[in-house]
Structure 1
Amino acid sequence: MSKEVSEEAEHAPPKDYTDPPPAPLLDVGELRLWSFYRALIAEFVATLLFLYVTIATVIGYKVQSQNDPCGGVGYLGIAWSFGGMIFILVYCTAGISGGHINPAVTFGLFLARKVSLLRALTYMVAQCLGAICGVGIVKGIMKHPYNSLGGGVNEVASGYSKGTALGAEIIGTFILVYTVFSATDPKRKARDSHVPVLAPLPIGFAVFMVHLATIPITGTGINPARSLGPAVIYNNRKAWDDQWIFWVGPFLGALAAAAYHQYILRAAAIKALGSFRSNTRN
């Protein structure tokens, strides 16, 4: 097996793409860069806008459907709201912060060494604060319906167990983070450079599709900041009791997606082994 790997590495054609070097584990030097703080601001503002529009859509739908079961945008419109806003905001912030807007996405990219630990942790803080502020604006504008119609919180729906909800969050986040890795893969960009597809488009569609599947189960989290913001502002016991599902599930889904993409699809372990064998032979 090792011989085959070494031979494959020696006879492999030159790459027409460049993999960026792994991010340092703890890059304290980032604290001296304005671009670092600009990225934090972008993540904060993007997550604020994301929660403002999406939670306002959820509350608006519930208001419109109170007297008319067919009124409002329905689950389809809510799913479009989440997916569309991700498309817009990733497009706007990708060149500044990478357009994460989700602690689970940040966690997955950290595991793949795309961002440093310092950047990952500060991104998550900025995202959570942005989510809380975004939902706070919704409550300020729609106070009565917000308080009376559930606050847009993520909870395990009646008829589903917490285990089922956890599984739905793991799978949903896996789909999202797997799409993020695939859409931003430098190898794919080189091979498919003739296909004019923006990376934010498949990411937004992934969010849309996952919402269609899991809104009836959990309201769809797949984003710990999205779940935390309404839980803080609405402050309901059920929302806090179920909150762990919307952190553990997305983080496990992100871990699985990062491992699958890096070590199975991109064969990082085999490449590393081949490089090690070549170096030891020389």
Structure 2
Amino acid sequence: MEEAGQSSHKPSLAKLKLPPPAPFLGLDELSKWPLYRATITEFVATLLFLYVTVATVIGYRHQSDPKVFPESSQCGSVGVLGIAWAFGGMIFVLVYCTAGISGGHINPAVTFGLLVGRKVPLIRALFYMLAQITGAICGAGLVKGFQKELFNRYGGATNTVNSEYSRGTALGAEIIGTFILVFTVFSATDEKRRARDSHVPILAPLPIGFSVFVVHLATIPITGTGINPARSLGAAVMYNKDKPWDDQWIFWVGPLIGAALAAIYHEHILKASVLKAMGSFKRNSVANGM
């Protein structure tokens, strides 16, 4: 029974045809509706993401402000844990809702990582990034429009480097945090795992959202957690003060480096190692007459 099970499993892996790398430019997509539908999806998803998460941060800072609620404590607000859940939960929900249309990127760093990994062409990546940035600005703008006084009082939920940490530490935190996120995206959408385990495509949004959650727990004290250049830029544009702009480069350079490293690690180290190991196994099998 065991041998039969193994023999039935091997052909499926042997016959698995991995999709070719995405074309570099992808100019032919400009004449097709799916590109524009996916771009609109990324815009709306990023808008919703910023609206919920920025509103959560503003609400937390207001509820935990001793000047407003002198008798309250941290238990009277969602706390840092609640903020992390808001970010991770929204990514889980939005990836689940949009993965079948746009891939559920909702983050220029994710899009950049997939571009480096040859999963999306350049034209689609540029369209996505523009949609994500404009969506983020609109999402943060909605929060400011509804709660202008609180938005301005509590810093617009912008990402800045905590004064207790150096910018080098903040940059490292953004690189590592984004590496974890993008590495999770590649692992959760890996073609071989999808073919081997039918539940993987269904559960893919869960580990992606959970990676955002745990990274926020680790890096909120350092930078407020960026790992998403659109999220950082959208809040900074609406708040428009010196400190968020002075630190803004960290929330672009760090995530883009982390995303590129994750793509290279997954696509050219892990997957290449697997292919070499499989080739070595096949050669040994032939040599041993198996």
TM-score in same-fold range (> 0.5): yes
Q: Which residue of 2 is the match for residue 199 of structure 1? A: 204
Q: Secondary structure of 2:22's partner? A: coil
Q: Which residue of 1 is the match for residue 3 of structure 2? A: none
CA distances 1:110-152 after superposition (whole Å, capped 9, x unpaired) = 0111000011111101000000000000000011000011100
CA distance in 2, matches of 1:203, 1:17: 25
The structural deviation recorded for 1:188 is 1.0
Q: Which residue of 2 is the match for residue 124 of structure 1? A: 129
CA distance in 1, matches of 2:248, 2:215: 19
Q: Which residue of 1 is the match for residue 254 of structure 2? A: 249
Task: Give the length in aligned residue pairs.
Answer: 261
CA distance in 1, matches of 2:124, 2:271: 24
The structural deviation recorded for 1:15 is 2.5
Q: Which residue of 2 is the match for residue 34 of structure 1? A: 33
Q: Which residue of 1 is the match for residue 4 of structure 2? A: none
CA distance in 1, matches of 2:16, 2:221: 42
Q: Which residue of 1 is the match for residue 179 of structure 2? A: 174
What is the one-letter code of the residue matched to 2:23?
P
What is the one-letter code of the residue matched to 2:19?
P
Q: Which residue of 2 is the match for residue 214 of structure 1? A: 219
Q: Which residue of 1 is the match for residue 14 of structure 2? A: 15
Misfit runs of 4+, over 3 Å: 194-197, 268-271
Q: Which residue of 2 is the match for residue 45 of structure 1? A: 44
The alpha-carbon distance between structure 1 residues 43 and 152, as it changes in their structure 2 partners (threshold 3 A), is same
1:69 paired with 2:68, answer no
1:106 paired with 2:111, answer yes
The structural deviation recorded for 1:196 is 8.0
CA distance in 2, matches of 1:195, 1:147: 42
The alpha-carbon distance between structure 1 residues 97 and 197, as it changes in their structure 2 partners (threshold 3 A), is closer
TM-score, normalised by the number of residues in structure 2: 0.87
What is the one-letter code of the residue matched to 2:204?
A
Q: How does 1:148-187 map to 2 (within 5 A)?
A: 148-187=153-192
What is the one-letter code of the residue matched to 2:73?
P
CA distance in 2, matches of 1:252, 1:146: 30
CA distance in 2, matches of 1:154, 1:34: 35
Mean Cα deviation higher: 52-61 or 261-270: 261-270
The alpha-carbon distance between structure 1 residues 258 and 235, as it changes in their structure 2 partners (threshold 3 A), is same
Q: Which residue of 1 is the match for residue 101 of structure 2? A: 96
Does the aligned pair in 2 maintain the 1:263–1:269 contact within 8 Å? no
The structural deviation recorded for 1:17 is 3.1
TM-score, normalised by the number of residues in structure 1: 0.89
Structure whose CA Rg is larger: 2
CA distance in 1, matches of 2:201, 2:228: 28
The structural deviation recorded for 1:198 is 1.2
The structural deviation recorded for 1:89 is 0.4
The structural deviation recorded for 1:16 is 5.0
The structural deviation recorded for 1:270 is 6.7
Q: Secondary structure of 2:155's partner? A: coil
Give aligned-pair identity as a percent.
Answer: 71
Does the aligned pair in 1 maintain the 2:188–2:207 contact within 8 Å? yes
The alpha-carbon distance between structure 1 residues 91 and 194, as it changes in their structure 2 partners (threshold 3 A), is closer
CA distance in 1, matches of 2:248, 2:263: 23
CA distance in 2, matches of 1:222, 1:195: 24
Q: Secondary structure of 1:158's partner? A: coil
What is the one-letter code of the residue matched to 2:61?
K
CA distance in 1, matches of 2:233, 2:160: 11
CA distance in 2, matches of 1:22, 1:171: 26
CA distance in 2, matches of 1:139, 1:22: 42
Q: Quick one: which of 188, 209, 216 aligns to 2:193?
A: 188
The alpha-carbon distance between structure 1 residues 20 and 153, as it changes in their structure 2 partners (threshold 3 A), is same
1:115 paired with 2:120, answer yes
The structural deviation recorded for 1:107 is 0.3
The alpha-carbon distance between structure 1 residues 194 and 216, as it changes in their structure 2 partners (threshold 3 A), is closer
Q: Compute the RMSD of aligned alpha carbons.
A: 1.7
